[in-house]
């Protein structure tokens, strides 16, 4: 995991519980007597491992996930992606791979952008 992704995922993990108490955060559970930033400074490898594990257990929602949540009865291709191009339903301004269906899976499995 590169540094930018790490920082974004740490922030997402820390805010995942939806409150300011930190009780749902895995770092909070592991930090012991330390404050979170102290723990991260003293135990960087353990911090990275905790965050990487959490990221695997809590993947970001993809365009495909969002689409099927909104349209649960939409037709799927054999690989599970929607039968329609992501650009044609508004997830992209234009298709980056027109006439090449092999890339549809890549577009549909892209995580939704942070807002």
Q: Which two tokens stand for residue 79?
A: 């690989």
Domain final residue, candidates 57, 76, 103? 57
In percent, how much of the chain has pLDDT > 90?
50
pLDDT digits (tens, 9 = 90+) for 61-73: 999 999 999 999 9
Same domain for 51 and 75?
no
Helical pair 3-15 and 44-57, crossing angle rounded to 10 deg = 70
Same domain for 52 and 70?
no
What length is written for the chain?
A: 115
* Domain of residue 28, residue span: 3-57
Q: What's the total number of domains in the chain? A: 2
pLDDT digits (tens, 9 = 90+) for 84-100: 999 999 999 988 887 77
Q: Identify the band that residue 29 occupies on the pLDDT scale cut at 50, 70 and 90.
A: confident
Q: Please name the residue ranges forming H helices in the chain.
A: 3-15, 26-30, 36-42, 44-57, 63-70, 104-108
Residue 43: pLDDT above 60?
yes
Cα separation of 73 and 27, whole Å?
39
Q: Identify the band that residue 115 occupies on the pLDDT scale cut at 50, 70 and 90.
A: very low
Cα separation of 39 and 61, whole Å?
29
Model pTM above 0.85: no
Q: Which two tokens stand for residue 85?
A: 């191009």
Whose tokens are 């991260």? That residue is: 40
Cα separation of 81 and 89, whole Å?
13
Same domain for 42 and 15?
yes
């Amino acid at each position: 995991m590169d540094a930018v992704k790490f920082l974004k995922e740490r922030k997402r993990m820390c805010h995942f519980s939806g409150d300011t108490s930190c009780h749902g955060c895995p770092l909070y559970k592991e930090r012991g007597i330390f404050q979170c930033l102290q723990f991260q400074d003293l135990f960087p490898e353990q911090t990275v491992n905790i965050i990487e594990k959490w990221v695997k257990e809590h993947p970001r929602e993809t365009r495909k996930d969002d689409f099927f949540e909104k349209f649960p009865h939409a037709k799927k291709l054999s690989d599970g992606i929607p039968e329609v191009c992501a650009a044609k339903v508004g997830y992209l301004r234009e298709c980056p791979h027109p006439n090449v269906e092999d890339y549809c899976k890549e577009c549909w499995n892209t995580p939704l952008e942070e807002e």
